Amino acid sequence: MHPTTSSERLDDWRSVLSRAFVPLEPHAPSGGGPFRGLLRTTEFDGLQLAEVSGTGQTVRRTRATIGAADPGHYKVGLQVAGHGLLAQDGREAALAPGDLAIYDTARPYRLRFDASFRMLVVMCPRTALPLSERVLSSRTAVAVRAADGVGELVSPFLRGLRRLLDEGARPIGAGHLGPAVLDSVAAAFDEPDHDGRAGGSLLVRAQAYAEGRLGDPALGPVMIAEAHHVSARYLQRAFEAEGETVSGWIRSRRLERCRRDLGDPHLAHRPVSAVAARWGLVNAAHFSRTFRSVYGMSPRDYRTEAHARVDAHVGNSVRARTR
């Protein structure tokens, strides 16, 4: 079982939440009753999964805490037990068990639980979700109901991730779950198209299709356009409306996947060229040049620095536990 962190003191709970997610400010309700918070976390395929539970409380992400640290993530909260209220961007989402909502760590938000609760939280980088910023900014603090439409499919799937918290080691197959989770979240929060079909946006469908085929060296505008029965020119215009090109978007997603794998200690045995080839970048020299132009260092140097940071973090955690 993954480590469980619990606290009965508000200051300790503030530290627990801030270390696990981003700097946050929890507050206990007035009345002075007993307080308790419980947290379980794990990571898989570049995503963080957490189960947060406890007595009634309010958790705020303020401008001050954003200024202290803003890694640029989205969080998807699935209410498992109890009721909650999420407020962000002038909207409020009342969450019952099974409901989910998305919120942005780069902007202030508030979560309120009036009584005991349990929430499953998936946190991912802003660039990981195959949705445009325009769509995402309009969907924060909007509840997706467990019994309505796509929520009937997505809610049970996300709830099933909870079993990953009960695995004793890195779950088998977890490396393939990330894209499925991101696609399901995108489906849940996609806007209806002009004809009213949820998930009908060509851009979102094209990006979700490409995400699942980044490892195919043949992936490109023509393949994606043919799969969606549109011309390559029409597809290009859909991407250009968001300031992207099809090829540029594919390249950035592939490089991000390579960067993530290079930083994963579990993949330290894999040659750099194999990491690149896994994501469709079969020309090792071209990959190295492109990676350096984007991240400012060679893939090999990035891997060395990333692993050193992980080792330092583990060493600090061990020393902290032995004091």
pLDDT given at position 196: 38
- Residue 5: phi and psi, rounded to 5, are -110, 125
Q: What number of other Cβ atoms are within 10 A of residue 316's Cβ?
A: 10
pLDDT over 60 (residue 206):
yes
Amino acid at 83: H
pLDDT given at position 246: 95
Residue range(s) of every CATH 1.10.10.60 domain in the chain: 201-323
For residues 247 and 74, give the distance between their C-alpha atoms in angstroms, rounded to a whole number.
25
Q: What number of other Cβ atoms are within 10 A of residue 79's Cβ?
A: 26
For residues 227 and 318, give the distance between their C-alpha atoms in angstroms, rounded to a whole number.
50
Q: What's the average model confidence in pLDDT over 150-176?
A: 76
pLDDT over 70 (residue 298):
yes
167 or 89: which carries more pLDDT confidence? 89
pLDDT given at position 310: 67
8 Å CB contact between 35 and 8: yes
The lowest-confidence range among 63-77, 87-101, 166-180 is 166-180
Q: What's the average model confidence in pLDDT over 189-215?
A: 69
Confidence of residue 314 (pLDDT cuts 50, 70, 90): very low
For residues 254 and 64, give the distance between their C-alpha atoms in angstroms, rounded to a whole number.
34
Amino acid at 192: P
For residues 173 and 37, give the distance between their C-alpha atoms in angstroms, rounded to a whole number.
30
Pairing of strands 47-54, 57-61: unpaired
pLDDT given at position 258: 94
Highest mean pLDDT among 67-76, 231-240, 247-256: 247-256
What tokens does 5 get? 């962190």
The lowest-confidence range among 40-54, 79-93, 179-193, 233-247 is 179-193
Q: Is 119 exposed, middle or buried (0-12, 13-18, 19+ CB in 10 A)?
A: buried
pLDDT given at position 167: 60
Does the global pTM surpass 0.75? no
First to last CA, the chain: 24
Confidence of residue 303 (pLDDT cuts 50, 70, 90): very high
Confidence of residue 198 (pLDDT cuts 50, 70, 90): very low
pLDDT over 80 (residue 31):
no
Dihedral sign, Cα of residue 74, residue 80, residue 86, residue 89: positive
pLDDT given at position 197: 39
Pick the CATH number of 4-191 from 3.40.640.10, 1.10.1200.10, 2.60.120.680, 2.60.120.10: 2.60.120.10
The lowest-confidence range among 111-125, 162-176, 204-218, 283-297 is 162-176
pLDDT given at position 33: 79
Confidence of residue 3 (pLDDT cuts 50, 70, 90): low
Residue range(s) of every CATH 2.60.120.10 domain in the chain: 4-191
Confidence of residue 232 (pLDDT cuts 50, 70, 90): confident
Mean pLDDT value across the chain: 85
Q: Residue 192 has what DSSP assignment? A: B
Q: Is 87 exposed, middle or buried (0-12, 13-18, 19+ CB in 10 A)?
A: middle
Location of structure tokens 């709970």: 13
229 contact partners, CB below 8 Å, separation of at least 6: none
Pick the CATH number of 201-323 from 1.10.490.10, 1.10.10.60, 3.20.20.70, 3.40.50.800: 1.10.10.60
Residue 181's closest CA among 201, 206, 154? 154
Q: Where are the beta strands (DSSP E) in the chain?
A: 4-7, 25-27, 37-44, 47-54, 57-61, 73-81, 84-88, 91-95, 100-104, 109-113, 117-125
